[in-house]
């Protein structure tokens, strides 16, 4: 289903108050409201999105999980040494 987009400054006062009540926060004149209605059975799963709608980081962002600070420092030193393209070939 298509999204309905409205500039907040173009919404009448009574409608704006009702929408603010529904979403639980005040809207600013410099904002845009985007509303989309979907059927419960067919709600699409948004990749990399958490239940509260915020974007989750991809799994590869957790490559240092479980490593100590010393292990991370050692790994970083190795990576930076290998990335030094100015060294001469032997």
pLDDT in tens, 23-78: 999 999 999 999 988 777 765 666 655 566 566 778 888 888 888 999 989 988 88
Dig out the tokens for 86 from the structure: 């100015």
Q: What is the DSSP letter of 55?
A: B
pTM for the full model? 0.43
pLDDT of res. 39: 79
Dig out the tokens for 11 from the structure: 């919404």
DSSP three-state, residue 33 = strand
């Amino acid at each position: 289903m298509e999204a309905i987009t409205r500039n907040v400054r173009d919404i009448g006062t009574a409608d704006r108050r009702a929408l603010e009540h529904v979403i639980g926060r005040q809207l600013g004149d410099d904002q845009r409201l985007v509303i989309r209605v979907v059927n419960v059975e067919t709600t699409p799963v948004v990749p990399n999105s958490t239940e509260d709608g915020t974007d989750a980081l991809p799994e590869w962002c957790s490559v240092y999980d479980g490593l100590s600070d010393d292990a991370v420092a050692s790994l970083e030193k190795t990576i930076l040494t290998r990335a030094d393209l100015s060294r001469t070939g032997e």
